[in-house]
Homo-oligomer: A and B are copies of this chain.
């Protein structure tokens, strides 16, 4: 794995820089006809975990981008928690992934587009960790467009 650092490309804002990396993961999912969602986990300006949706390839409905990225980051750090880390993900996490983020105690979640059907913010009670900050909307149009095109192509194929 290449550990891409923010300082490699100082001309853009950090959030956009890392969200672009999450989109690279989403594109990997797309290549395998998976729902195109990607995620990266960043610590001190460096990507320490990457993941993309693998539900079809692994025949496992729990193999979401965020779950892969959490596990990859924990493998990298060797510690249990992802304190002082930020998750960048192209679509709002579902309840499962938000629940997983609770256990990681991750410091921040940044997602691009909302998922109105299955996104965790539909749940009125807080399910992410009390210390987890939340930001959304960065590159939201691109994320929404990617999903729209994917499902449109799926429908046209079937």
Contact = CB atoms under 8 A, between A and B. Distances in A.
A158 interface: no
Contacts of A124: 124-125
A110 B25 CA distance: 37
B62 A70 contact: yes
Contacts of A142: none
Contacts of A94: 99, 102-103
A60 interface: yes
Identical copies of this chain, number: 2
A55 interface: yes
A102 B120 CA distance: 13
Contact of A62 (B71, B78, B79): B71
A102 B94 CA distance: 10
A68 B116 CA distance: 28
Contacts of A75: 59-60
Contacts of A55: 80
Interface of A: 55, 59-62, 67, 70-71, 74-75, 78-81, 94-100, 102-104, 122-125, 127
21 contacts: A55-B80, A59-B74, A59-B78, A60-B70, A60-B71, A60-B74, A61-B70, A61-B81, A94-B102, A94-B103, A95-B95, A96-B96, A96-B99, A96-B103, A98-B99, A99-B99, A122-B125, A123-B125, A123-B127, A124-B124, A124-B125
Give me the 7 closest cross-chain CB pairs, A-B, nearest first: A96-B99, A95-B99, A61-B103, A96-B100, A62-B100, A95-B127, A99-B99
